[in-house]
Amino acid sequence: MGKTFKKPESLSDTHTHYCPGCTHGVIHRLVAETIDELGIRGRTVGIAPVGCAVLAYNYFNFDFQEAAHGRAPAMATGIKRVRPDLMVFTYQGDGDLASIGMGEIIHAANRGEKFTTIFVNNAIYGMTGGQMAPTTMPNQRTSTSPFGRKVDEVGMPIKMAELLAALQTPAYISRQTVIKPKYINKAKKAIKQAFTYQLENKCFSLVEVVSTCPTNWGMTPVQAVEWTEKTLLTYYQPGDYKVPA
Amino acid sequence: MAKVLMKGNEAIGEAAIRAGCLNYFAYPITPQSEVAEYLVRRMPEVGGVFLQGESEVAVGYMIFGAAGAGERVFTTSSSPGISLMSEAISYIAAAQCPAVFVNIMRGGPGLGGILPSQADYLQATKGIGHGDCRLLVMAPASVQEAVEMVMKAFPLAEKYRNPVMILGDGLIGQMMEPVEFPDDLKTEPTNKDAWATNGMDHRKGITRNLVKSLFLDPVQLNDNNLALKAKYDRMRAEEVMSESYHIDCDYQGLIVSYGTMSRVCRTAIDMLAAEGIDVGMVRPQTVFPFPEKAVAEAAMKPSCTHVLSIEMSMGQMIEDVERSVKGRVPVSWYGKCGGDIPTPEEVIDVVKQRIA
């Protein structure tokens, strides 16, 4: 009997720096499987964000550029416009995409740039040590909201998938999660769908992946999964928010 | 090719196309928006890319992305816009990608004004973005020279894998002059397969390329900075350009001036010569690297008693002039920076007060 489960070619042989219980590794794998299955590794360029995934290029095995904080959609725009034959995706966290990079993602989506964004939303700044993000939940404690996020001071968390789906131009906006196997299969399908739309030259596609950060949430991995399911998924509901007409 | 009468900004756009750059990203800002207005029509004719970005911040990274993918690319902006792009310029220099930035300077600081200025001299030559990064900076004094510098900028950016800036004052962009586009300045892009993210299939190679500026290991970061420094030292050795005027005589004083300001000084020098007062001039064509040797040699002429740095800024280039002259001759500054360009008569008055 041959091998039935192996590492995708699009992943490198490196150990990741991600914390126990973090879902970046699962999301990396889904992206890598998709790229392998579509046979596009040799013409794919990824854009790494600033955040926990800044070193994502160490774990993927194809061309990569590293952006400044929030600017990945602008870089992807530059690449895709001058080399439309390349398959381009950005991989961004919630601080990167929904805070400092809000302008870039809105305008890239609205122009219908023909690249794909994987948006990993774990409701906190991970790499800088657990500060409040635009996606942090009401009353959620972080190092810069030590008494809990006060919505009367800083507003409600931003629902990026809904916000972007309100634009008329983007092709595909979906929200998924990978905290349990039943969700992982759906997330894989959505990620593959997003890349397939790019392959078909349809405009902008984005998959938001609701993710965990046990380290900065101060939880065990199991508690993090439970909190994600109970709290985050109630507010950030999975589903397709926009599909091509 | 015959000469045509063109506005500087339009000629800059055409020069890039003639040089073989078919990718342009920009954000509107006075006094250089005509470049975009020209290229939005012209790029489709040559199968090129035109995109108006949502901000200068985004445009800076569109340039980075396109340059990282190995394509020739450029943008144009003006002072406040260049400030917003300076973050990206630092990243591009750190990641060693070639790109061309044109700054048609207006008065500052802040919103300043929209009239011609040279007030971004220090930013362009010493302070463009954070970290140890430098640009190769060329400063044209005519529309024709702007065309030639733009055309030369692309192969130079590729030679050094570093951003190159054309630093023109607002008048260079706004005035019309006869120009021609020298065929011999059209160049083929270099092969970038060794480093660009142009797709592994495209390279028929088995290893992937990374375009990045993060070096968490202090030894690796220092090595990257040493590699950058070596390039900047090589620019100092190989790329210095300057032009001298009225220096084949025993001049009493020396003017150092560049861009539009140098043309006013030239007129003043002719008028002074008619009165029997000889003043020489060195006009830097590259401001980084600065023509230290040419300035020092001209200043050391025994007859020369004073060096004037005449700028459309509040005494910025004078720091390079003083550094070149090394205290061997007195150096002083004259200039204006509100959009009013000093007249030949004002220059003559200053020369008479300080030199003659």
ipTM given for this complex? 0.97
**pLDDT tens digit string along B301-342?**
999 999 999 999 999 999 999 999 999 999 999 999 999 999
At residue B71, does pLDDT exceed 70? yes
Q: pLDDT class for B18, splitting at 50, 70, 90? A: very high
- A-chain CB neighbours of B66 within 8 Å are 78-79, 81-82
| B95/A66 Cβ within 8 A | yes
The continuous run of DSSP H or E covering A46 comes out as: strand A44-48
Q: Is A63 on the interface with B (CB under 8 A)?
A: yes
Residue for token pair 């926990």: A52
At residue B127, does pLDDT exceed 90? no
Between the CA atoms of B76, B81, B86 and B88, what dihedral angle is there, to the nearest 10 degrees? -70
- A-chain CB neighbours of B61 within 8 Å are 67-68, 71, 74-75, 78, 104
A24-242 maps to CATH 3.40.50.970: yes
**pLDDT tens digit string along B277-297?**
999 999 999 999 999 999 999
Q: Shortest CB distance from B91 goes to which of A48, A57, A68? A: A68
| B65/A76 Cβ within 8 A | yes
- Rounded to an integer, what is the distance from CA A245 to the centroid of its chain? 24
Alpha-carbon distance B321 to B327, whole Å?
Answer: 10
Alpha-carbon distance B151 to B18, whole Å?
Answer: 7
Q: Shortest CB distance from A71 goes to which of B61, B197, B214? A: B61
| A75/B65 Cβ within 8 A | yes
* Contact between B42 and B17 (Cβ < 8 Å): yes
**What are the CA-CA distances from residue B187 to residues A131, B42, B44, B179, B217 (Å)?**
50, 19, 20, 19, 38
**pLDDT tens digit string along B250-278?**
999 999 999 999 999 999 999 999 999 99
Say whether A179 sits in a helix, a strand or coil: coil
Please tell me the predicted confidence (pLDDT) of residue B1: 65
Write down the mean pLDDT value for chain A: 97
Q: Shortest CB distance from A107 goes to which of B54, B88, B201? A: B54
- A-chain CB neighbours of B198 within 8 Å are 63, 83, 86
* Contact between A138 and A157 (Cβ < 8 Å): yes
Nearest CA in chain B to A106: B54
Show the DSSP H helices in chain B as ranges. Answer: 8-19, 33-45, 56-68, 79-94, 121-125, 143-160, 170-174, 200-203, 218-238, 259-274, 292-299, 318-325, 344-354
- B-chain CB neighbours of A167 within 8 Å are none
| A76/B201 Cβ within 8 A | no
Residue for token pair 């397969």: B193
* Contact between B119 and B107 (Cβ < 8 Å): yes
Digit-by-digit pLDDT tens for chain A (245 residues) are 688 889 999 999 999 999 999 999 999 999 999 999 999 999 999 999 999 999 999 999 999 999 999 999 999 999 999 999 999 999 999 999 999 999 999 999 999 999 999 999 999 999 999 999 999 999 999 999 999 999 999 999 999 999 999 999 999 999 999 999 999 999 999 999 999 999 999 999 999 999 999 999 999 999 999 999 999 999 999 999 999 98
Contacts of A208 (CB under 8 A, 6+ apart): A119, A121, A160, A161, A173, A174, A175, A176, A236
Nearest CA in chain A to B94: A66
Please tell me the predicted confidence (pLDDT) of residue B30: 96
- Tell which residue, A124, A225, A118, has the closest CA to residue A172: A118
Nearest CA in chain A to B215: A55
Please tell me the predicted confidence (pLDDT) of residue A205: 98
**What are the CA-CA distances from residue A234 to residues A21, A45, A222, A229, A238 (Å)?**
20, 34, 18, 7, 9
Q: Shortest CB distance from A103 goes to which of B54, B62, B209? A: B54
**pLDDT tens digit string along B131-167?**
999 999 999 999 999 999 999 999 999 999 999 999 9
Nearest CA in chain B to A57: B210
Nearest CA in chain B to A48: B212
Please tell me the predicted confidence (pLDDT) of residue B292: 98
- A-chain CB neighbours of B25 within 8 Å are 78, 81
Please tell me the predicted confidence (pLDDT) of residue A245: 83
What count of other Cβ atoms lies within 10 Å of the Cβ of residue B247? 18
**pLDDT tens digit string along A54-102?**
999 999 999 999 999 999 999 999 999 999 999 999 999 999 999 999 9
| B63/A79 Cβ within 8 A | no
The continuous run of DSSP H or E covering A120 comes out as: strand A116-121
B196 burial via Cβ count (<10 Å: 0-12, 13-18, 19+)? buried
Q: Shortest CB distance from B210 goes to which of A42, A44, A64? A: A64
| A41/B61 Cβ within 8 A | no
Q: In sequence order, what are the beta bridge partners of A66?
A: A48
Sorted by where each starts, the structural domains of chain B and their CATH numbers stand as 4-238 (3.40.50.970), 242-354 (3.40.50.920)
Q: Is A13 on the interface with B (CB under 8 A)?
A: no
Q: Is A68 on the interface with B (CB under 8 A)?
A: yes
Q: Shortest CB distance from A68 goes to which of B63, B88, B197? A: B88
Please tell me the predicted confidence (pLDDT) of residue B204: 76
What count of other Cβ atoms lies within 10 Å of the Cβ of residue B210? 16
**How close is the nearest chain A Cα to the Cα of B269, in Å?**
47
Chain A and chain B share a number of CB contacts under 8 A equal to: 127
The continuous run of DSSP H or E covering A117 comes out as: strand A116-121
Q: Which of B27, B54, B92 is the best substitution to test chain A (most A C-beta atoms within 10 A)? A: B54
Q: Is A35 on the interface with B (CB under 8 A)?
A: no
**How close is the nearest chain B Cα to the Cα of A142, in Å?**
26
Please tell me the predicted confidence (pLDDT) of residue A230: 98
Q: Shortest CB distance from A63 goes to which of B57, B95, B197? A: B197
The amino acid present at A12, given as its one-letter code, is: S
| B57/A66 Cβ within 8 A | no
Please tell me the predicted confidence (pLDDT) of residue B2: 85
Please indicate, yes or no, whether the overall pTM of this predicted structure exceeds 0.90. Answer: yes
At residue B356, does pLDDT exceed 90? no
Please tell me the predicted confidence (pLDDT) of residue A4: 84
Q: What are phi and psi of B210, to 5 degrees?
A: -120, 135
**How close is the nearest chain B Cα to the Cα of A233, in Å?**
32
Write down the mean pLDDT value for chain B: 97
What is the percent of chain B where pLDDT is above 90?
97
Alpha-carbon distance B29 to A226, whole Å?
Answer: 51
Q: Say if strands B331-335 and B306-311 run parallel, antiparallel, or are unpaired.
A: parallel
**What are the CA-CA distances from residue A46 to residues A59, A87, A98, A241, B66 (Å)?**
11, 8, 19, 24, 13
At residue B202, does pLDDT exceed 90? no
The continuous run of DSSP H or E covering A164 comes out as: helix A160-165
Q: Shortest CB distance from B65 goes to which of A57, A74, A107? A: A74
Q: Which of A36, A58, A80, A83 is the best substitution to test chain B (most B C-beta atoms within 10 A)? A: A83
What is the percent of chain B where pLDDT is above 70?
99
